[in-house]
Structure 1
Amino acid sequence: MRVLVVEDEPRLADAIAEWLRDESHAVDVAHDGSAALERLTVNDYDVLVLDRDIPVIHGDEVCRQIVASPAPTRVLMLTAAAEITDRVMGLGIGADDYLTKPFAFQELAARVLALGRRSRAATPPVLRRGEVTLDPSRREVFRGDRYVPLSKKEFAVLTELLRADGGTVSAEQLLEKAWDENADPFTSAVRLTIHKLRRKLGEPSLVDTITGVGYRIS
């Protein structure tokens, strides 16, 4: 899942991003509303973690523009204001969820995951294809009855392949969903991660390479 964190306090923004990356999400960071809208026009995000009181363009206006766009991005709004009227206002302009500072990172991560699932309403919480079962909430993968330990990137790549339900996913799509915007588009990271994923899933191989197109779970 790809997440954009918009927070003008650099230390907090980096802490949120690091926590979400530890949950296997691809995370980009913006520090003001203008930079956020610029990234949102270039990249597709599943969830936007949006501080309401950001400079240049206020968080309320960023939220309004997202809601008015055709993008399926879900918005988790952050604010230091604990008043119920502020929460009602945030939800009233289109935010999907609201979290008051200070907050527990565990709660923020849980809310982001829940919103990501909501943005893919047709996707079941547990993904299955053939012998492979992936549980996003428990971060567990099994091939048959065998537990398969995966790295964060391997888990993220497998998630996207399973979501395709037998369809082909290009290396560019995997790079966009499992890595952040700083990833080199010419990197061999996707190919190397697929190689490791095949090895861990075992024989016979379940990940097919479709030459010139991408990868799929058979």
Structure 2
Amino acid sequence: MKILLIEDEEELSAIVTRGLRKCGYAVDAAYDGEEALDYYNVNEYDVIVLDLNLPRMDGLEVLKNIRQTDKKTKILILSARSAVDDRVQGLDAGANDYLTKPFDFLELEARIRVLSRIAYIQQGNELSCGGLNLNMAAKAVSFQETKLPLTKKEYAILEYMMLHKGQIVGTEQLLNHVWDSDAELFPDTLKYHIHTLKKKLCDAGSHQELIRNVRGMGYKIEEAGE
């Protein structure tokens, strides 16, 4: 899952970015409103974490600019503006959630996790497919009773695919949601991670091909017969 963090306090931005990456998220960091829109206009994000007190363009203006054409991207305001009127204004302008500073990182990550699964709320934190189970809160994966020792990138790929179960997910789509925008990737990076995922599933006892290559289009995860 890919996050755009818009925060002008560089030390705080670095701390939050480091924490989110440790949780397995891909993160792009912008330090002012105009830079944030530059990132937004060339990338696709699952969640945007937005400060309001930004140089060059206020956070509310950034929010309104995005919401003119984009009603779907999840936006969480993270701001020192704690008055009720500020929170109401932010939510009315189109934010999905509002967290005031100072904050606990665990709460921030939990709120991001909730926002990321809103479209799948009927499933809660648990996603499943053909004996494969993924817990988004614990970031744990198992097949039947066997835990899968996945790397952070393998987990991120699998989580995104399971959130789009039954759909073809393109290579560029996966790369965009799992890696930072400035990450230097080898041509076969994604193929390698998909291969290791399939091998770990096989080693855990999966006798069906849950993850399929769709020639010329990308990858698909589904149960046999779907």
Q: Which moved more, 1:150-159 or 1:39-48?
A: 39-48
Q: What is residue 214 of structure 1 aligned with on the other side?
A: 218
Deviation at 1:161, TM superposition (A): 2.1
SS of equivalent residue, structure 1 residue 150: coil
User: Residue 10 of structure 2 contacts residue 31 of structure 2 at CA under 8 Å; is this kept in 1?
Assistant: yes
SS of equivalent residue, structure 2 residue 28: strand
SS of equivalent residue, structure 2 residue 62: helix
Q: What is residue 159 of structure 2 aligned with on the other side?
A: 159
Q: What is residue 68 of structure 1 aligned with on the other side?
A: 68
Q: What is residue 29 of structure 1 aligned with on the other side?
A: 29
CA–CA distance in structure 1, aligned partners of residues 131 and 148 of structure 2? 12
The CA deviation string for residues 88-131 of structure 1, in whole angstroms up to 9 with x for no partner, is 2222322221111111111111111111122x347733221112
User: Residue 26 of structure 2 contacts residue 180 of structure 2 at CA under 8 Å; is this kept in 1?
Assistant: yes
Q: Which runs of 5+ in 2 are unaligned?
A: none
Q: Which runs of 5+ in 1 are unaligned?
A: none
Q: What is residue 90 of structure 2 aligned with on the other side?
A: 90
Q: CA RMSD for the aligned pairs?
A: 1.9
User: Residue 3 of structure 2 contacts residue 48 of structure 2 at CA under 8 Å; is this kept in 1?
Assistant: yes
How many residue pairs get matched? 217
* TM-score with structure 1 setting the length: 0.91
Q: What is residue 15 of structure 2 aligned with on the other side?
A: 15
CA–CA distance in structure 2, aligned partners of residues 197 and 123 of structure 1? 26
1:131-210 alignment to 2 at 5 Å? 131-184=131-184, 187-202=187-202, 203-204=206-207, 205-210=209-214
Q: What is residue 41 of structure 1 aligned with on the other side?
A: 41
CA–CA distance in structure 1, aligned partners of residues 186 and 35 of structure 2? 25
What percent of counterpart residues are identical? 39
SS of equivalent residue, structure 1 residue 88: helix
Runs ≥4 in structure 1, deviation > 4 angstroms? none
CA–CA distance in structure 1, aligned partners of residues 172 and 89 of structure 2? 38
Q: Which moved more, 1:18-27 or 1:108-117?
A: 18-27
